[in-house]
Amino acid sequence: MSTNPLVMGHPLASTENARHALLYMCRIRKFEEAVEDLFGRGMMHGTMHLSIGQEASPTGMCMALTIQDQITSTHRGHGHCIAKGADLTRMIAELLGKEIGYCGGRGGSMHIADVETGNLGANGVVGGGIPIAAGAALASKMMKKGTVAVSFFGDGAMNEGAFHEAANLAAIWKLPMILFCENNKYGMSSSTEKAFAIDDLADRGKGYGIPGVNVNGNDVVEVYEAAQIAVDRAKKGEGPTLIIAETYRWKGHSRSDKNLYRTKEEIEEWRLLDPIPKFIARAIKQKKLTQEQCDAIQQEATDAIVAAVNEAVKAKAADPAGLLDAVFKKVSA
Amino acid sequence: MSDRMLTMAEAVREAMTIAFDERPEVFLLGEDVGIYGGAFGVSGDMYHRYGSERVLDTPIAELGIVGAAVGAALSGMRPIVEIQFSDFTAQAMDQIANQAAKIHFMLGGALHVPMVLRTPQGSGTGAAAQHSQNLEPWFASVPGLKVVVPSNPADAKGLLLASIDDPNPVIFLEHKLLYKIPGRDPVPEGSGRIPLGVAKVVREGKDLTIVATGIMVNKSYEVCEKLAAEGISITLIDPRTISPLDMQPVYESVEKTGRLMVVQEGPAHAGFINEVIAQMAGSSSFGSLIAPIKRLAGMNIPIPYAPQLEKAAVPQIEDIEAAAREIVKNWR
Ligand SMILES: Cc1ncc(C[n+]2csc(CCOP(=O)(O)OP(=O)(O)O)c2C)c(N)n1
Ligand SMILES: [Mg+2]
């Protein structure tokens, strides 16, 4: 079902690794494009938060993780799910409200979890996943699992109490946790300039006595390198790291965004910093991939999404009959 | 007249601008209420009209936002806080339930909190369990909060103006699905207030009394119209404020109809509407009932995502219609 085992290690360590990095960034891009299309055609209900432009961050972070390592995700979580190895058909099926969807149609885009790949779930609540990741890291430490827990969150989430309380707990208990901020410059319409009185969000690490590092979130190599250092530190019992990955969302916050708070020029500038061609150029230059291989990988990603959509569309719609029985886990006799 | 057929969003905005113009101490704060115009477009152009000093865009920090409103309110200002989805009042619940609600009582009346917290609630948008709740009973069960649930634009305007005047914390619960649709009645010009704690008899009939809150008033209204054509006449009562609750019109109506049905969107278990049943059961009008009281409410589940599941989770017009018909036909 899931696409594990995942390839781990440096995106430029081998052809296999480079292929994985490119394939997963492309899978995320194509997935998000498919979601936009399904939405536009009225086949998808609710809302959507697309991560087009941000693909390098989850891909780079997850290449430093084992399948057992855990993540918590956000409302903008499709990329995290895919990078951790989720099954594309079950993801699309969830968005289409199908029985075989990850949540049986009960959760939708903002609530996909995949226990098999260590994904504890996307979250509709900004900051909601951060303390949960701290708790997963606490369990790992108490049960000597040797795993780390990564919380993905946005810049906006860093002003929620949940961020501060979780960062402090993780720091004082030296939890194997990574606080991974995708700083895409805006929390809905609030720019980081307006929402923070500091210029460098990584400075927040100091306040909790943990390292705070900045990376170019559009560079899968840089993200991976910082992630690996943080994972090593966490697994050695030295505690959490705050990673600030600078990136940008090309699309509006959600379906109803008129983009009044930013300029077309700014969006255009960031589109030029597309993480995918940037990595392709580097992989070719370092002779890890050829242009032909890169073209084939992109096509492979597209084909995988098309196949997932076709299968999901055909699947059976979720049935309201079981709803009342779905609230509680059955108490075992 | 037709140009006064405002939507709920427009009516709420109109009330806020009237209050802004009347009193310099009124201001609005919340996430994306400024240049974005509010997640549901309620503040609209207010940022451009009143500037960033009175329309404050905040970081994503609900506890801080509501706490700052409480502090400002007890220090001479009159804040209107917008929480982007009522679900996120959970983040701010200490300031709402432990601070704002209790300050006047607990401090011997030394301070009071003239704050309005406006927030969209309810299901029907496909936003799933953490963005779709109806939390009426959370607030209604806290002494010290007034709780308003407008069902239409005209009421929303008058009730919001009264809420802003009120020297106490008021939770103002707006239903998302009502934001963009015009009401049945035009919204009056001017700055008329609708007092808190006065229920509205929306229409009168002799066979059945329906008490419904928020969007369920609208759904029930359609049922009343439809069944009227079949000769079933229904009284529909909208409490408008669920704290304090005005039961008098309910008693008076039940004495005439002998049948009572209550309808709410939120889960049945420990829901607000149960309060209406409890007060009815303890009143001298109880003896007028010729039928068991019928309760229609949401299922006891979180709101699911898929449209077919989401619909099943809360009462729909067809459910109300079937239940109304049944109670009238079966109990004569
Ligand atoms: C507690 C809470 N407050 C507000 C919201 C509404 N909301 C959803 S996403 C969002 C912006 C989040 O910004 P950020 O954390 O930077 O993530 P991004 O959307 O940029 O990926 C807001 C305000 C929410 N879902 N949860
Ligand atoms: Mg952001």
Domains, chain B, in order of start with CATH, read: 8-178 (3.40.50.970), 200-330 (3.40.50.920)
pLDDT tens-digit series, residues B186-225: 999 999 999 999 999 999 999 999 999 999 999 999 999 9
Cα separation, A105 vs A238, whole angstroms: 40
Q: Is the pLDDT of residue A6 over 90?
A: no
Burial of A285 (0-12, 13-18, 19+ CB in 10 A): exposed
Cα separation, B309 vs B317, whole angstroms: 16
Q: What is the mean pLDDT of residues B24-45?
A: 98
Query: Residues 6 or more apart from A287 whose CB is under 8 A from it?
Result: none
Q: What is the mean pLDDT of residues A63-88?
A: 98
User: What CA–CA distances, in Å, run from A48 to A95, A100, B87, B247?
Assistant: 9, 20, 18, 42
Contact at 8 Å (CB) between B252 and B188? Answer: no
Q: What is the mean pLDDT of residues A187-198?
A: 98
Q: pTM higher than 0.90, yes or no? A: yes
Q: Is B131 a catalytic residue?
A: yes
The band of A1, judged by pLDDT with boundaries at 50, 70 and 90, is very low
User: What CA–CA distances, in Å, run from B21 to A292, B190, B191?
Assistant: 66, 12, 11
Three-class SS of chain A: CCCCCCCCCCCCCCHHHHHHHHHHHHHHHHHHHHHHHHHHCCCCCCCCCCCCCCCHHHHHHHCCCCCCCEEECCCCCHHHHHHCCCCHHHHHHHHCCECCCCCCCCCCHHHCCEHHHCECCCCCCCCCHHHHHHHHHHHHHHCCCCCCEEEEEECHHHHCHHHHHHHHHHHHCCCCEEEEEEECCEECCEEHHHHCCCCCHHHHHHHHCCCEEEEECCCHHHHHHHHHHHHHHHHCCCCCEEEEEECCCCCCCCCCCCCCCCCHHHHHHHHCCCHHHHHHHHHHHCCCCCHHHHHHHHHHHHHHHHHHHHHHHHCCECCHHHHHHHCCCCCCC
Which residues from B are below 8 Å from A194, CB to CB?
A: 57, 59
Which residues from B are below 8 Å from A256, CB to CB?
A: 39
Kindly report the backbone phi and psi dihedral angles of residue A47, in degrees, each rounded to the nearest multiple of 5, phi listed first. -135, 180
B110-140 in b/e form (b: 16+ CB < 10 A) is eebbbbbbbbbbbbbbbbbbbbbbbbbbbbb
User: Ligand 1: which residue has its CA nearest to atom 20?
Assistant: A187
Residue A333's pLDDT is: 78
Please tell me the number of the ligand nearest to residue A156's CA.
1
B91 Cβ closer than 6 Å to some ligand 1 atom: yes
How close A73 comes to chain B (CA, Å)?
Answer: 15
Contact at 8 Å (CB) between A50 and A35? Answer: yes
- Structural domains of chain A, ranges and CATH numbers in brackets: 15-317 (3.40.50.970)
Cα separation, B236 vs B219, whole angstroms: 11
Sign of CA dihedral A254, A260, A262, A266: positive
Residue B61's pLDDT is: 98
DSSP B75: T
Q: What is the mean pLDDT of residues A261-276?
A: 97
Whether B128 and chain A come into contact, CB under 8 Å, resolves to yes
Amino acid letter, B207: D
A189-201 in b/e form (b: 16+ CB < 10 A) is bbebebbbeeeeb
Whether B36 and chain A come into contact, CB under 8 Å, resolves to yes
CA-based R_g, chain A, Å: 19
pLDDT tens-digit series, residues B264-323: 999 999 999 999 999 999 999 999 999 999 999 999 999 999 999 999 999 999 999 999
Mean pLDDT of chain A: 97
3-state secondary structure of B185: coil
Q: What is the mean pLDDT of residues A149-174?
A: 98
Which residue is listed with tokens 């300029």? A263
Contact at 8 Å (CB) between B320 and B258? Answer: no
DSSP B285: G
Residue A3's pLDDT is: 47
Residue B3's pLDDT is: 83
Residue A191's pLDDT is: 98
User: What CA–CA distances, in Å, run from A36 to A27, A31, A45?
Assistant: 14, 9, 11
**Percent above pLDDT 70 for chain A:** 98
Which residues from B are below 8 Å from A317, CB to CB?
A: 306, 308
- Minimal CA–CA distance to A34: which of A312, A221, A325? A312
How close A291 comes to chain B (CA, Å)?
Answer: 41
The band of B117, judged by pLDDT with boundaries at 50, 70 and 90, is very high
Residue B94's pLDDT is: 98
Residue A141's pLDDT is: 98
* Closest Cβ opposite residue A105 in set B127, B130, B305: B305
| CA B287 to centroid of ligand 1, rounded, Å | 52
Both tokens of B320, joined, read: 């109300």
Residue in chain A closest to B303 (alpha carbons) equals: A106
Which residue is listed with tokens 């994985």? A20
Query: Residues 6 or more apart from B239 whose CB is under 8 A from it?
Result: B149, B199, B211, B213, B245, B246, B276
> Does the distance separating the beta carbons of B301 and A326 come in below 8 Å?
yes
pLDDT tens-digit series, residues A83-114: 999 999 999 999 999 999 999 999 999 999 99
Q: What is the mean pLDDT of residues A257-284?
A: 97
Contact at 8 Å (CB) between A201 and A171? Answer: no
Cα separation, B35 vs A255, whole angstroms: 17
User: Ligand 1: which residue has its CA nearest to atom 5?
Assistant: A126
Residue B2's pLDDT is: 61
Check B62, B136, B265, B321 and give the catalytic one: B62
Check B31, B104, B131, B174 and give the catalytic one: B131
User: What CA–CA distances, in Å, run from B196 to A220, A287, A301, B141?
Assistant: 57, 73, 58, 17
Contact at 8 Å (CB) between A187 and B91? Answer: no
pLDDT tens-digit series, residues A281-296: 999 999 999 999 999 9
Other residues' Cβ atoms within 10 Å of the Cβ of residue A272: 8
Residue A2's pLDDT is: 42
What is the CB-side half-sphere exposure of residue A145 using CA atoms within 13 A?
A: 20
The band of A256, judged by pLDDT with boundaries at 50, 70 and 90, is confident
> Does the distance separating the beta carbons of B126 and A190 come in below 8 Å?
no
Cα separation, B21 vs B41, whole angstroms: 20
Residue A5's pLDDT is: 63
Cα separation, B170 vs B160, whole angstroms: 9
pLDDT tens-digit series, residues A221-249: 999 999 999 999 999 999 999 999 999 99
Which residues from A are below 8 Å from B306, CB to CB?
A: 45, 97-98, 105-106, 108, 317-318
ipTM of the complex: 0.96
